[in-house]
Amino acid sequence: MSGDPIVVAARRTPIATRGRGLADATVDRLAAPVLRAVLDDWAAASTPPHPTPTVADVVLGNCMGPGGNPARVAALLAGLGVEVPGMTVDRQCGSGLAAVIEAANAIRGGDERPRIAGGVESASTAPVRSVDGVPYDRAPFAPAGFPDPGMTEAAERLAAEDRIPRSRQDAYAARSRRRALAAVADGRYAGELVPVEGVSGDELGASGASGADERVLARFAPLFEGGSVTGGNSCRVSDGAAAVLLVPGSLRGVGVPGLALRAHAVVGCDPALPGVGAAAAIIEALGRAGGTGRTVADVAAFEIVEAFASQTIAVLDRIGVADDDVRVCADGGALAVGHPWGASGAVAVVRLFSRLVRGGAPPGTLGVAAASVGGGMGVAAVFEVVR
């Protein structure tokens, strides 16, 4: 496993609710600063400093952007050079993590040059899409004859199917917000954040105290009559970007810590219940890690994209982890900070990097990043601390 790709730098922008602090930033303006930041971090990672590497490719997830290959546009804007290509990946809410896996697979395939991977979403500047002049919110996740619920509808259906009461969802959402507030107060986000020139993120406000109390969440009306999913136990549609720098083990350098990507999995599941996809992906990825496989008990940190409290709880139930387990989104997740669709899977990797690498976890510590995906899919990756 010494040849596994290693994340040696990880950064993200603040995350802002659609129409707020990052509303004027297009996808290239969001992504470019984090691309530059991970390279600068790597250059300063050892003594003497590493030379800035030649990047083989930039792979970014994006769901609803303008097209035109935002990864390539952002790479040019970041000053990486005209010789650096780019590729944009769409696996919906799993796009950012899928991009990291895609870059890692290229390194595993024998091209031992560094790659930048991540994701970006600007819901604020996304174009209006239409067919025959009729606007629509999203393209189909499944063809005719298959269930194709919207994600909110699917979260409500999953809550009913799994008998997850409103009280449990609100308690989970409130806990995520309290954890995020504590992380902000302790400065645990500081090392991963990159400012976006000319705009200001509203991350502190997005995870503000008004949402940290279950009594406040209880005032939200259900989004469906008689239902349990509300605006309080659902994520906010958001803007933001995240990126990591992956290098082969041979380039990491002595004394430079990182996260080695040991295993990953992408799975399909029932399109009617897309929120559970992450569970099967986590189990399958762990089964591929460490030769004979690893188990949930071996994992020190989980970062699961919290699109909805009901969906996250359903995933945790299926992998046998308690709602309040301190390993899960220990500094708050998307329910607290926001969900920039194409970026959130990469945000999960950045958060693992902060929790485990910046946080000083010993070599061999395992972390898992995962997301459930519209249309009935799940994606997960297993990382191990190396020092």
Domain residue spans of the chain = 6-129+235-386
Task: Say which residue the tokens 């994600």 belong to.
Answer: 151
Gap between the Cα atoms of 324 and 227, Å rounded: 23
Q: What is the pLDDT of residue 171?
A: 96
- Of the candidates 303, 376, 317, the residue with the CA atom closest to the CA atom of residue 165: 317
> Which sign does the torsion angle of CA 131, 137, 139, 145 carry?
negative
pLDDT in tens, the chain (387 residues): 447 999 999 999 999 999 988 999 999 999 999 999 999 998 888 667 777 778 999 999 999 999 999 999 999 999 999 999 999 999 999 999 999 999 999 999 999 899 999 999 999 999 998 888 898 888 889 999 999 999 999 999 999 999 999 999 999 999 999 999 999 889 999 999 999 987 755 554 443 333 456 667 878 999 999 999 999 999 999 999 999 999 998 777 667 899 999 999 999 999 999 999 999 999 999 999 988 889 999 999 999 999 999 999 999 999 999 999 999 999 999 999 999 999 999 999 999 999 999 999 999 999 999 999 999 999 999 999 999
Gap between the Cα atoms of 6 and 287, Å rounded: 20
Q: What is the pLDDT of residue 47?
A: 65
Q: What is the pLDDT of residue 256?
A: 84
Q: Annotated active-site positions, please?
A: 93, 339
Gap between the Cα atoms of 204 and 361, Å rounded: 26
Domain 6-129+235-386 falls under CATH 1.10.3720.10: no
Return all residues near 326 (Cβ < 8 A) that are at least 6 apart.
none
Gap between the Cα atoms of 272 and 343, Å rounded: 24
For the entire predicted model, the pTM comes to: 0.95
Q: What is the pLDDT of residue 210?
A: 39
Q: What is the pLDDT of residue 300?
A: 98
Total residues belonging to the chain: 387
Instruction: Give the β-pairing of 86-89 and 57-61.
Output: parallel
Q: What is the pLDDT of residue 52?
A: 74
